[in-house]
Amino acid sequence: MDLFTLEEQNLLAAYDVSSRMNLLQSLEDALPYVYDYEMMGLINGIIGKLLIIDDDVFELVSFDYTEYYEAKND
C-alpha cells in the first residue's frame, strides 16, 4: 500500500511505527521543535493521513522498505 510518499517514508524510518497512535503521538511531540517549514509540512501531511485512516488500515502498511531499496540497487 503506497499511503506515504518516499519523503514521508524516509522520515518515518526515524520513528516508532509499532502502532498508529504511538507514531501520531511522536510526530505531534516533535512538531514544536521543528523550525523548517518543509519539514513541518511533511510531518503535518503524515499526521493528516494518520488521522484519516484507522488502526486496521495502518496494520496493512508495510514499513519494511529493504526489499524496495535492494531491488532498486540490483
Cα torsion at 57, 51, 5, 74 (round to 10°)?
-40
Please write the tens of the pLDDT for every residue from 1-27: 689 998 999 999 999 999 999 999 999
The confidence band for 62, taking pLDDT boundaries of 50, 70 and 90, is confident
Q: 54 by DSSP, 3-state: which?
A: coil
* Residue-range domain boundaries for the chain: 16-67
pTM: 0.83
Q: Evaluate if residue 74 carries a pLDDT over 90.
A: no
